[in-house]
Amino acid sequence: MPVYILRSVCASLTVILLAGCASTGAPVQAGKLQFYRGQVSPEGDHWVMALCYSRQNRVLTDPEGALAARYSEQQPYPGLPIYMELEASERAEVRRVRLAGGDSRACAAELDGIRLRVAGTDPAWDADLSGDRLEVRDQARLMRLGFRVEERTSRSASEPVWFGRMKAPAGGEHKVELSLEQSGCRDSLGIWYGLTVVMRLDGRLYKGCGRYGDLARQALAGRYGSSLVSEAGPVHTLVLELTPDGAAQLTEDYHDGQPAIVRTGSWRWLPSRKLMLHFLQRDDQAEQQVRLFHRRPDGTLVQEGRRSESEGPRLRLSRE
């Protein structure tokens, strides 16, 4: 199976399990950070990332050496691109590497609807956290359990801890506790993850690695545009801005001397793998409007259905 999913010991499972951990992580610095994922390679004194679902490359700097450290460990040959998930400042300075290892196929693993995926191999286990639901799969005991969990903050650190319990069919109950550490963890195939995980299930200790999910939702934030130009100049311009916190703004300008139309609202990445825009205001006046887009492999957003006869059957927005 491709290295971008968590490695599984049993072929019957569709997740990949992760191996034991080594303390190689770095603390996260404060400030507004942007999430990026794609293929990273060195270029002179900086780094270039070919972004997933995009025709663009992002030029990155590495003032703290976090990216260089992960790259030097993972590279099979100098200069070859390596898949990474990372966070960088608004000036594209790398502050934290979330995952390092894999090739271009890693872009296909987006873990939609999964907040956190964790796994280990001694014993073989894995779990997915989605909202307040934690599904645990213990391969050694052929057991699959679904918990409703409560999130708290550990006493010794600011990292989250999840607790849950459920009744057992034969009487009694199952108990689970899952905690994270911001330290590096490496699986048996050498993929590096930025989270170390410890889980206690019914008194048993499980260790492994973890990665954050909902990758499409995180990577979709940004600016998209479409422009129709004639010999006389711009005729129709659309700019869509999606923020990481779920806000959306669509600015439409017909270049006819009238003010541009500005719609504001929210956006969601749906389980159907479509982008939904829900606009609540037009030029500060109440207006309800919903639009659906699908995403092409190059990152272009294509609207479902027809907007108007004059604009043609499909509205396409390219990432800027």
Q: Which residue range forms the structural domain that includes residue 88?
A: 34-108
**Bridge partners for 271 per DSSP:** none
Do 152 and 239 lie in one domain? The reply is no
210 & 244 share domain: no
Dump the DSSP string for 201-245.
ETTEEEEEEEEE--HHHHHH-EEEEEEEEETTEEEEEEEEEE-TT
Report if residue 28 sits inside a domain.
no
**248 shares its domain with 196:** no
Tell me 52's DSSP state: T
Domain at 103, CATH number? 2.40.50
Contacts 24+ apart (CB under 8 A), 295-302: 295/53, 295/216, 295/220, 296/53, 297/53, 298/53, 298/54, 298/55, 299/51, 299/53, 299/54, 299/55, 299/56, 301/224, 301/240, 301/275
CATH, residue 296: 2.40.128.500
> Do 192 and 120 belong to one domain?
yes
Residue 270 domain-assigned? yes
> Is 286 inside a domain boundary?
yes
Both 191 and 246 in a single domain?
no
Secondary structure (DSSP) of 258-289: SPPEEEEEEEEE-TTSEEEEEEEEETTEEEEE
| Same-domain pairing of 210 and 266 | no
Is residue 198 in some structural domain? yes
Q: Is the dihedral of CA 299, 301, 305, 311 positive or negative?
A: negative
Q: Where are the alpha helices (DSSP H) in the chain?
A: 66-74, 215-220
Asked if residue 23 belongs to a domain, the reply is: no
- Identify whether 6 is part of a domain: no
Q: How many helices (H) and strands (E) does the chain have?
A: 2, 23
Among 108, 125, 158, residue at a domain's last position: 108
Q: End of a domain among 215, 249, 277?
A: 215
| 17 within domain boundaries | no
Q: Could you read off the pLDDT tens digit of each residue along the chain, which spans 320 residues?
A: 333 333 333 323 223 334 333 333 333 344 588 999 999 999 999 999 999 998 889 999 999 999 999 999 998 788 899 999 999 998 999 999 999 998 889 999 999 999 999 999 888 999 999 999 999 999 888 899 999 999 987 666 667 899 999 998 888 899 999 999 888 999 877 899 999 999 999 999 999 999 999 999 989 998 999 998 888 888 999 999 999 899 999 999 999 999 999 999 999 999 899 999 999 999 999 999 999 999 998 999 999 986 555 445 578 999 88
Number of domains in the chain: 3
Q: Tell whether 169 is covered by a domain.
A: yes
For residues 227 and 294, state if they share a domain: yes
Asked which of 80, 108, 136 is the last residue of a domain, the reply is 108
- Written as six digits, the tokens of 130 are 């989605």
